[in-house]
Chains A and B, each alone.
Chain A
Amino acid sequence: MCASGKYSSRGPALIPRMKTRHRIYYITLFSVVLLGLIATGMFQFWPHSIESTADWTLDKRSVHDAPLVRLPVSSPIPERGDLSCRMHTCFDVYRCGYNPKNRIKVYIYPLQRFVDEVGVPISSTGLSREYNDLLSAISDSDFYTDDVTRACLFVPSIDVLNQNSLRIRETAQALAMLPRWDKGMNHLLFNMLPGGPPDYNTALDVPRDRALLAGGGFSTWTYRQGYDVSIPVYSPLSADVELPERQPGPRRYFILSSQTAIHREYRAELERLKEENGEALLLLDKCSNLSQGAASARKRCYKGQVYDYPQILQESSFCVVLRGARLGQAALSDVLQAGCVPVILADSYILPFSEVLDWKRASVVIPEEKLSEMYTILKSIPHRQVEEMQRQARWFWEAYFSSMKAIGLTTLQIINDRIYPYASRTYEQWNNPPVVKWSSVNSPLFLPLIPPRAPGFTAVVLTYDRIESLFRVITEISKVPSLAKLLVVWNNQNKSPPEGEKKFKCPECTAIDGLSLDQTHMVERSECINKFASVFGTMPLKVVEHRADPVLYKDDFPEKLKSFPNIGSL
């Protein structure tokens, strides 16, 4: 409500003094107001189309309020990323400090619009919707802090997700201008589409000093293990298309290839496989008769037949994800979403979040050279494994690929795990889908140990007030050679426990032997079982039909020679 508000409020005050030329005046006034409004509107509208968003409220400001920063030509450029960087060399761990929650604090820089000396923005797109989503997710998370002095990790609001839209040199200069840049220490950049033609580097080309890179499409040569984070290439279809989860099982097609920009050599190889194996393979390409645009992204064709994408992915057990010019492919996300097992052919590719995710349980990685053997390799995989992989694939998508929020927070969690390794998430937490988490058993005593006899055992006896019965138990138990200690838990607030051995004899007590096996008792216990099962969410008890006895139990054998002769005599 800027300029226009001023005009209209001044209007009424002028009217009484200008009676004669009122008509002209009003027309002029009106047109001025109108023009002003249009100008304001245009001014507001235009930047939005560049910035893509207006609801970025990191500093409770809209994007057009973001201050404009002009980059002098001579502004310093950071050094290219140092390949030898590791957490202990390029990351300042003192900033993270010791805290009881073992959680890093992440600061997001306020939004700024960087332009060069002549006013051209450093990026053709500005802040993308995806990066906006990512920053919002971080600022809504427990990682976020608005106190720059307490931050351990800094995330610039300069969007470098897609290198194609960036002016490399100017973006680098903008990074170096960030107030806490300090050679990129503890800064995290997110990039999904690195490199550019003709040779498509596998990591962001923007010089960035020591900044950590969360990159989509790293190769083993650019990925700094334990420092960078390999992230997925986000697929917009994740948000646009809802694919219901399908039960794992056999699908109509065995192998499906749905990517459109496949190298012709590989396409020829796929065609050959199709000839050999026929209907089991479905080889889709882009539709030639459809116009380019959003619609074509959602269609695939085979010999004139049109298929809906990504829905068709759900019809296949395996889906091929071949490298393009870049190693990271958004198709991987679509394939996982469809619960189709990805067959990844991208030599030297660092799979997304491979630091924590066990991809062997969700995908098949085949060297590009072995594309021709793909069918044989996949056929050798047991059905039950394919089903587990389908389930696992879908779970990976849901937990780690489905939104920019999932991608961003997973990245932060991985970095968090490095800084507080003793509090890191476990393999099971990262890799087990909820259904496995509920049904699996991870015993806290998992090591097969057969403890020595020497330390013996401790007997714990719970008692209320039946002294006689307690006394009998104690007498019997204390005969056992392996008994190391006997602990009596006195469970009666009204009486104090008897002192000394004498008082254990209690002639006035009338012994009621054992708990009464009456009906109410059984009903109560059944209710307990049901209550416990509902709290556990499942019935953890298992039924078995065996019982452990000594080896020679009830055998026709001299009792004297048996280790445990008197068992079962009661």
Chain B
Amino acid sequence: MQAKKRYLILFSAGACLILLFCFGGIQVPLSRRGPTRRDDRSLTGYRSGAQWRRFPGVVQQKRDAITGVYSGKRCRMESCFDFSLCERNGFKVYVYPQQKGEKMSESYQNILSSIEGSRFYTSDPGQACLFVLSLDTLDRDQLSPQYVHNLKAKIQSLPLWNGGKNHIIFNLYSGTWPDYTEDLGFDIGFAMLAKASISTENFRPNFDVSIPLFSKDHPRTGGERGYLKHNSIPPFRKYMLVFKGKRYLTGIGSDTRNALYHVHNSEDVVLLTTCKHGKDWQKHKDARCDKDNAEYDKYDYREMLYNSTFCLVPRGRRLGSFRFLEALQAACVPVMLSNGWELPFSEIINWNTAAVIGDERLLLQIPSTVRSIHQDKILSLRQQTQFLWEAYFNSVERIVLTTLEIIQDRVLQHPSRSSLMWNSLPGGLFTLPQYSTYLGDFPFYYAKLGIKPYSKFTAIIHVVTPLVSQSQPIIKLLVAVAKSQYCAQVIVLWNCDKPLPAKHRWPATSVPVIVIEGESKVMSSRFLPYDTIPTDAVLSLDEDTVLSTTEVDFAFTVWQSFPDRIVGYPARSHFWDSNKERWGYTSKWTNDYSMVLTGAAIYHRYYHYLYTTYLPTSLKTMVDQISNCEDILMNFLVSSVTKLPPIKVTQKKQYKETMMGQTSRASRWADPDHFAQRQTCMNKFASWFGSMPLVHSQMRLDPVLFKDQVSILRKKYRDIERL
């Protein structure tokens, strides 16, 4: 019996264990094993019950519903903007005609003329997608002399106002002492704001645009270059962090500046404040004022700005300050202390790459924060300040165009710029997404994407004289170019008044030859973005150019290393003629050059698109009328994009001689006015670009063994040396 009992006990204990295991232990792995079963219970909500109920009607009804709910402070493009106005004519901007007797600040005048000079401008409100008021809304500080009164009534009386729909209102200052609210003092309705010092609370994302605060002296066009002339390594400057400005003692925005003295060490962190501002500053004077004021006067603002690694940009009464742009231009990395400021063009600019976004609450940590930033990072932040300054901020025109391009990107939605286009060289204004949305189609991103341009080129020969003999230079040129291993096809652009020659008159080649008859037979047509160009590279040729296959091959291999620049043979130079106070043009043999003639040059196809769409009609018409200067204009354009000179490659002797002796032939180079025209062009172009974009170079690229004392048989491009 005892044994039985023991068995029973054993059995019960065993059963006990097994059962426990079954119910307790095993279900752990089970729950892991059955994800499909569990999903039904855990995250299946999105598979069931998600029926359309909110907007049962058609899409238009949905839009109406949205518009009703989300207006005013909750405006978004979807609810407050009428996209249909932009569909027929694209992104066109209308500026209201100026009314007599309306006073207008110089800054606002600059904004309006920048728009009127842009390719977006239309004088027909019926074509417009966006409307800009001719009433000055920049300064809405009631205490300011620039303040425009009765704006509310004036705006309401505008016949095209339409509740503010598709309008953009520019503003630099809003509110006044003591609370500096962001109210403009009139009802903006459905209008978008392009506003400085806008706070994140009031900023309507993807609807408003935050613009930088700029002074009335900010140039309308052109604009100054960044201050950085060369990179120093290690990148540290005399001061680590500087600030020099007013201290308000009381009221809005005074806290941070009042506390700055805690971090000031008068060595490499120099933060200076003065209490002197306004008439009655002495009333609010505190114990530190006298000492601070004395210290303040010891330092020069500019000297500090140019000799500091970081510049503190604390908020003033308003969130933004002039200091921000000043620091940016001076390559002094801004350290932002302005909580809640929606930084300028925040929609497209990644400010972490060019500024340090501090927190007012952590002022005391700022010195250790900036000291912890690695040298590499400082170097990159500093360069980025310069890129952003020159790309988007250095003139009123750039600020306005950037604003318009941001809105255009929203309107078009699909062909719009990616963040990389906005935040890397040459910037969004030179990168037109209507050309392509693919980064690899532009000359600027090959290295970034780790890819190479297409390894062939398309030759475009510009023809203006009739084909009468088979010994004409164009026949030789066509044959030589077509023989290049990199040639994909040849396009003959027939800009001659005589009818097209018969097909058999062109020599037989291994690559296709396409003849395009120019419709208007004008100069600019040689730079049209023809669909028939399948390659990234274009070899642009004049009909009388003399080139050998070797020269073409070599130039193309050079271009592959510099796909964003013009690579070509004959070069020219510009200079400042101080007697005549104007730019001069020279074709003399000099030790440097700044242009490469497009009668024989390789460059990226994108520049055809940019030439055609980016440049103003006025310049293109001028080129067409005089049938001259198109090459100068192309060089201006490319250098203003790259900020770099073109590249001259070596050429055979005979070519140069032919070029020099062209007077013997009836070419446009023979015209005595030709040269004078080119001087005029230089100055016209420089004035439109706002500055001289051309850059000099002293370098010529030759084949590696060029004219070296080695056997000619070892040289790959030996033909270039042969006479």
Instruction: Please determine whether A45 and B23 come into contact, CB atoms closer than 8 angstroms.
Output: yes
Distance between B371 CB and nearest chain A CB, rounded to angstroms: 11
Contacts known (A4-B16, A129-B35); A94 close to B642, Cβ less than 8 A: no
Contacts known (A225-B205, A422-B357); A100 close to B20, Cβ less than 8 A: no
**Is the CB of B36 closer than 8 A to any CB of chain A?**
yes
List of 8 A-B pairs having minimum Cβ-Cβ separation, nearest first: A41-B23, A439-B450, A385-B438, A451-B230, A128-B42, A360-B418, A88-B339, A440-B450
**Is the CB of B380 closer than 8 A to any CB of chain A?**
yes
Q: Which residue of A lies closest to B338 (CB)?
A: A88
**Is the CB of A436 closer than 8 A to any CB of chain B?**
yes
**Is the CB of A529 closer than 8 A to any CB of chain B?**
no
* Binding stretch for chain A, among B258-266, B409-417, B671-679: B409-417
Instruction: Please determine whether A100 and B372 come into contact, CB atoms closer than 8 angstroms.
Output: yes
Instruction: Please determine whether A549 and B16 come into contact, CB atoms closer than 8 angstroms.
Output: no
**Is the CB of A291 closer than 8 A to any CB of chain B?**
no
Contacts of A264 in B (CB 8 A): 52
Q: Could you list 21 A-B pairs, sorted by A, with CB under 8 Å? A: A40-B24, A41-B20, A86-B340, A88-B340, A129-B43, A162-B42, A164-B49, A225-B205, A324-B50, A360-B416, A361-B439, A439-B450, A441-B447, A441-B448, A445-B383, A546-B554, A547-B703, A550-B699, A550-B700, A551-B697, A553-B700
Distance between B240 CB and nearest chain A CB, rounded to angstroms: 14
Contacts of A552 in B (CB 8 A): 589, 591, 700
Instruction: Please determine whether B20 and A365 come into contact, CB atoms closer than 8 angstroms.
Output: no
* Binding stretch for chain A, among B1-9, B146-154, B397-405, B682-690: B1-9
Q: Which residue of B lies closest to A163 (CB)?
A: B45
Instruction: Please determine whether A44 and B700 come into contact, CB atoms closer than 8 angstroms.
Output: no
CA–CA, A30 and B37, complex, Å: 35
Contacts of A138 in B (CB 8 A): none
8 Å CB contact of A365 from B370, B413, B439: B413
**Is the CB of A240 closer than 8 A to any CB of chain B?**
yes
Distance between B347 CB and nearest chain A CB, rounded to angstroms: 10
CA–CA, A67 and B531, complex, Å: 71
Distance between B455 CB and nearest chain A CB, rounded to angstroms: 14
Instruction: Please determine whether B35 and A444 come into contact, CB atoms closer than 8 angstroms.
Output: no
CA–CA, A22 and B4, complex, Å: 11
Q: Convert A156-192 into 0s and 1s, putting 1 for each residue whose CB lies closer than 8 angstroms to a CB of B.
A: 0000011111000000000000000000000000001
**Is the CB of A294 closer than 8 A to any CB of chain B?**
yes
Contacts of B706 in A (CB 8 A): 547, 549, 554
Contacts known (A86-B200, A324-B50, A325-B53); A551 close to B43, Cβ less than 8 A: no
Instruction: Please determine whether B32 and A426 come into contact, CB atoms closer than 8 angstroms.
Output: no
How many of chain A's residues have a CB under 8 angstroms from any CB in B? 131
CA–CA, A513 and B447, complex, Å: 40
Instruction: Please determine whether B59 and A265 come into contact, CB atoms closer than 8 angstroms.
Output: yes
Report A's interface with B, CB cutoff 8 A.
1, 4, 7-8, 11-12, 15, 22, 26, 29-30, 33-34, 37-38, 40-42, 44-45, 48, 52-55, 84, 86, 88-89, 93-94, 98, 100, 125, 128-130, 161-165, 192-193, 197-200, 220-221, 223, 225-226, 233-234, 236, 239-240, 261, 263-265, 294, 297, 324-326, 329-330, 347-348, 358, 360-361, 364-369, 377, 381-382, 384-385, 388, 417, 421-422, 424, 426-427, 431, 435-436, 438-452, 455, 542, 544-557, 561-564, 568
Instruction: Please determine whether B9 and A11 come into contact, CB atoms closer than 8 angstroms.
Output: yes
CA–CA, A240 and B43, complex, Å: 14
Contacts of A33 in B (CB 8 A): 12, 15-16
**Is the CB of B302 closer than 8 A to any CB of chain A?**
no
Q: Convert B697-723 into 0s and 1s, putting 1 for each residue whose CB lies closer than 8 angstroms to a CB of A.
A: 111111110111000000011000000
**Is the CB of B643 closer than 8 A to any CB of chain A?**
yes
Instruction: Please determine whether A4 and B20 come into contact, CB atoms closer than 8 angstroms.
Output: yes
Contacts known (A294-B37, A550-B698, A552-B591); A447 close to B387, Cβ less than 8 A: yes
Instruction: Please determine whether A447 and B383 come into contact, CB atoms closer than 8 angstroms.
Output: yes
Distance between A248 CB and nearest chain B CB, rounded to angstroms: 13
Instruction: Please determine whether A448 and B425 come into contact, CB atoms closer than 8 angstroms.
Output: yes
Q: Convert B645-666 into 0s and 1s, putting 1 for each residue whose CB lies closer than 8 angstroms to a CB of A.
A: 0001110010000000000000
Q: Which residue of B lies closest to A201 (CB)?
A: B54
Instruction: Please determine whether A455 and B43 come into contact, CB atoms closer than 8 angstroms.
Output: no
Instruction: Please determine whether B700 and A549 come into contact, CB atoms closer than 8 angstroms.
Output: yes
CA–CA, A265 and B39, complex, Å: 30
Instruction: Please determine whether B438 and A366 come into contact, CB atoms closer than 8 angstroms.
Output: no
Distance between A358 CB and nearest chain B CB, rounded to angstroms: 4
Instruction: Please determine whether B19 and A41 come into contact, CB atoms closer than 8 angstroms.
Output: yes
